[in-house]
Amino acid sequence: MMPSVSDETDDITMESATFTHTDPLQEDSGPPKMDSEKEILHEKVTKQIIKEGRGQTPTKYATCFLHYRAWVEKTLHKFEDTWQEQRPIELIIGKEKKQMTGLGIGVASMKSGERSLLDVGWELGYGEEGSFSFPNVPPSANLIYEVELIGFDEVKEGKARSDMTVEERIGTADRRRMDGNTLFKEEKLEEAMQQYEMAIAYMGDDFMFQLFGKYRDMALGVKNPCHLNLAACLIKLKRYEEAIGHCSIVLAEDEKNVKALFRRGKARSELGQTDAAREDFEKAKKTAPQDTAITRELRLIAEHEKAVYQKQKELYKGIFGPRPEPSPRRQRWHVLVWQWLVAILSRLFNFRRQKED
C-alpha cells in the first residue's frame, strides 16, 4: 500500500502545529547594516554578530559547513552566494584555501547556527592579484562576508569529505538526518535544519555525480529525505519559497515523489499560487489516490475558489446591479399648451374643410 504523505517512514511527519516565524534570508540588497560594535578577531578581520549561535566554537581541523554571501567592500559588488545555489560549502579550520584565510578566522570564532558579518582585509583574501575565478574581485580588494555556520564535525586529523569512503559519507549524512528528525520532534526547527543542511553537504553534487547503481540509491535515500525534511521545517516557519526550492530538487530526481509534490503544493497554496498548487496535488493523487491528506487539500482549494467566485459575484452585482426602470419624465407646461393649441387648430381646419365640401 502506498504510504500516506502524513506517515512517518524515512523522514519526518507534517503536522498542523504552529511555530514561531523566523525571518528568511535577506534578498540581494547589499551587506546587512549593523549597529553593533565590531569584535576584532585579527588585525585584518573583524566580526559583528547578526544572530547568536549555540554550543561551542570549532577547534583546529574541525570540518565546518557554512553558507555565505561575499561582496567587494569598495563597490559592494556581490561575487558569490551559496544560499542562492542551495549548496553549503565545507571548510576545514587550519586547512582552508589561501584566499579563505580571513573567512576561516571568522568561522573559527562562531558557534553552530550563528550568523555574522565579517570584514576581511585583502591580505587574507584574494591578495594583490585579485581573483581569476571572480573577475569582479580586483587586486588588493577588501571583502565583506555574511556567514552562517550550519554546524561542524570535530575530526582530529581534519578529514575532508573527499578523503572519506562512499560508505563513510553516506553513513555520516544519515546520522545527521536522524539527529535532525529527533530535533524536529522536539520542535527545535532551527537546530533540525542545521542537521539536514550538514547531511546534504556530505551528499554534494560532485559526490553524487560519481555514484552509480546501489551507491547512488543509498545516497539518494538519505539526501532526498533531508530536502523533504527541510521543506517541512520551512513550511512551518512560513518560508514557503525556500520550501518550494527543496521540493523541486527532489522532483528533479523523482518526478512522482508524493511527499515532494504534496509539500510543494502546500507551500504554493500558502503563497496563493492556486493553479500550481492544484497541479501538484493532482499529480500526487495519481500516485496515491487513496491519500486523505491530498484529497483534503484539493477540497480546500475548490472551496476557496468557490468562495472567491461568490464574493466577486456579489461585488460585481453591487457595482453594476439590475438596470433601473426609467422614471416618467415630467412634461413642461408650455409643451402641454402648445399641444392643446395644435389640437384645436387641427379640429377647426377639419371642420372648415367639411363645411366647404
pLDDT average, residue stretch 122-136: 91
pLDDT digits (tens, 9 = 90+) for 202-220: 887 778 888 889 999 999 9
Within 8 A by CB and 6+ apart from 130, the residues are 137, 138, 139, 140, 141
What pLDDT, on a 0 to 100 scale, did the predictor assign at position 337?
67
Burial class of residue 118, CB neighbours in 10 A (0-12, 13-18, 19+):
buried
What pLDDT, on a 0 to 100 scale, did the predictor assign at position 307?
83
User: In 3D, which of 174, 44, 158, 171 has the Cα closest to residue 92?
Assistant: 158
What pLDDT, on a 0 to 100 scale, did the predictor assign at position 30?
86
What pLDDT, on a 0 to 100 scale, did the predictor assign at position 26?
46
What pLDDT, on a 0 to 100 scale, did the predictor assign at position 158?
57
146 vs 150: CA distance, rounded Å: 13
* SS3 of residue 51 by DSSP: strand
pLDDT digits (tens, 9 = 90+) for 44-89: 999 999 999 988 999 988 889 999 999 999 999 999 998 887 678 8
pLDDT digits (tens, 9 = 90+) for 19-38: 333 344 445 678 998 888 89
Q: All domains of the chain, ordered by start, with CATH?
A: 39-153 (3.10.50.40), 161-299 (1.25.40.10)
- The answer, yes or no, to whether residue 224 has pLDDT greater than 90, is yes
Q: Which three cell numbers stand for residue 348?
A: 377647426
pLDDT digits (tens, 9 = 90+) for 314-351: 777 666 556 555 555 555 666 666 776 777 777 776 66
Global pTM exceeds 0.75: no
pLDDT average, residue stretch 149-170: 79
Cα 146 to chain centroid distance, Å, stands at 19
247 vs 319: CA distance, rounded Å: 43
* SS3 of residue 288 by DSSP: coil
What pLDDT, on a 0 to 100 scale, did the predictor assign at position 29?
73
66 vs 131: CA distance, rounded Å: 21
